[in-house]
Amino acid sequence: AITRARARGGRGEDGDHGAAARMRRDIDGLGRARVDLERAKADFAALTERLLYVQEEERARISRELHDEIGQSLGAVEILLASARSQLAEARIQPADRRIEEARGINARLLAQVRDIAQGLRPAQLDALGLVPAVREHAATHLGRAGIALSLTGNVEGRRLPAPVELAAFRIVQEAVANVMRHAGASRVEIGLEIGADALAVTVRDDGCGFDPGVPAGEQARRGLGLIGMRERAAALGGSLTVLGEPGGGTTVRARIPVKEGGA
Ligand SMILES: Nc1ncnc2c1ncn2[C@@H]1O[C@H](COP(=O)(O)OP(=O)(O)OP(=O)(O)O)[C@@H](O)[C@H]1O
Ligand SMILES: [Mg+2]
């Protein structure tokens, strides 16, 4: 009996040690979870702040464009037309004609500017013609201006996809192209739009400087919102986004957006 009691006692002590160790591990785990949670909260707060800032920035930019560019040009047209009118009242046809021609020139530039602004806010081709023409127009215009070669491949031409999928894919390409022009120093870009059995694959590959996409979220938030926004757009539709790259080796952004069979 004594031996058994001792043996039990021994096991009991062992059990206490085991429980204490488990508890210590649990406490350590809780501590780490708390640190993770605090970090996630800080990231979220930083992102929210950044999002509001970006929204205000965007409004300020549009306001500036409307006021400075469009407003001033409209003012100039008004002055030219008023002056042409008073010249016409004095039957001075030639100078009046010159004023009107000048006004028409400004008006043509105005039209182009308004188209550019509207296009940036919401691409007209996307609703009217679908994903491929919208992507082609956007990428060719912007990369063309920067002298970057473009190739666009895939099997989506002439095919309509659900509107949220088209919009998400377009916005992802738009941000990826903006990033190429801002950060990559690339000479060529390949865009792929490939529809499979259950998903659309969007790929934007550049041959630029590349970067390390594996930086922590907090660091990312300080850098910008573009990559996060692309990922969110894909995730909102049940998809995913990966960024592959290494310094010096170019960058590839690849999104997968689920599309139901026979959808649209
Ligand atoms: N194609 C690319 N080539 C090289 N570096 C890139 C590329 N795309 C992104 N990066 C790097 O990743 C960072 C994060 O990109 P992200 O789009 O999130 O932010 P941003 O472009 O700096 O700012 P924002 O998009 O919010 O205006 C960039 O600052 C840049 O350093
Ligand atoms: Mg960006």
In tens, the pLDDT along 59-104 reads 998 899 889 889 999 999 999 999 999 999 999 999 999 999 999 9
Mean pLDDT of 248-260: 94
Residue 247: which pLDDT band, with cuts at 50, 70 and 90? confident
Q: Is the pLDDT of residue 27 over 60?
A: yes
Q: Alpha-carbon distance 111 to 129, whole Å?
A: 21
In a 3-state reduction of DSSP, which class is residue 72? helix
Q: Is the pLDDT of residue 116 over 90?
A: no
Helices (H) and strands (E) in the chain, counts: 8, 5
Residue 46: how many other CB atoms lie within 10 Å: 15
User: What pLDDT, on a 0 to 100 scale, did the predictor assign at position 5?
Assistant: 47
Cα(201) to centroid of ligand 1, in Å?
21
The residue contributing the CA closest to ligand 1 atom 30 is 183
Identify the burial level of 238 via C-beta atoms within 10 angstroms of its C-beta, where 0-12 means exposed, 13-18 middle and 19 or more buried: exposed
In terms of pLDDT, which residue wins out, 196 or 223?
A: 196
Q: Is the pLDDT of residue 156 over 50?
A: yes
Mean pLDDT of 8-35: 79
Cα(153) to centroid of ligand 1, in Å?
24
Q: Which residue has the tokens 């959808």?
A: 263
User: What pLDDT, on a 0 to 100 scale, did the predictor assign at position 223?
Assistant: 66
Pocket mutation for ligand 1, best pick of 211, 225, 231, 252 (most atoms within 8 Å of C-beta): 211
Q: Is the pLDDT of residue 7 over 50?
A: no
Residues 6+ apart with CB under 8 A from 189: 139, 143, 148, 149, 150, 151, 177, 180, 204, 205, 206, 207
The residue contributing the CA closest to ligand 1 atom 20 is 224
| Mean residue pLDDT across the chain | 88
Residues with CB under 5 A from ligand 2 (ion): 179, 224, 226
User: What pLDDT, on a 0 to 100 scale, did the predictor assign at position 120?
Assistant: 78
Residues 6+ apart with CB under 8 A from 114: 70
Cα(117) to centroid of ligand 1, in Å?
23
Q: Is the pLDDT of residue 222 over 70?
A: no
The residue contributing the CA closest to ligand 1 atom 19 is 224
User: What pLDDT, on a 0 to 100 scale, did the predictor assign at position 15?
Assistant: 67
Q: Alpha-carbon distance 118 to 96, whole Å?
A: 33
User: What pLDDT, on a 0 to 100 scale, did the predictor assign at position 9?
Assistant: 47
Q: Is the pLDDT of residue 264 over 70?
A: no
Q: Which ligand does the CA of 184 lie closest to?
A: 1
Mean pLDDT of 159-187: 95
User: What pLDDT, on a 0 to 100 scale, did the predictor assign at position 10?
Assistant: 47
Mean pLDDT of 26-44: 90
Identify the burial level of 109 via C-beta atoms within 10 angstroms of its C-beta, where 0-12 means exposed, 13-18 middle and 19 or more buried: exposed
Q: Is the pLDDT of residue 4 over 60?
A: no
Cα(223) to centroid of ligand 2, in Å?
9
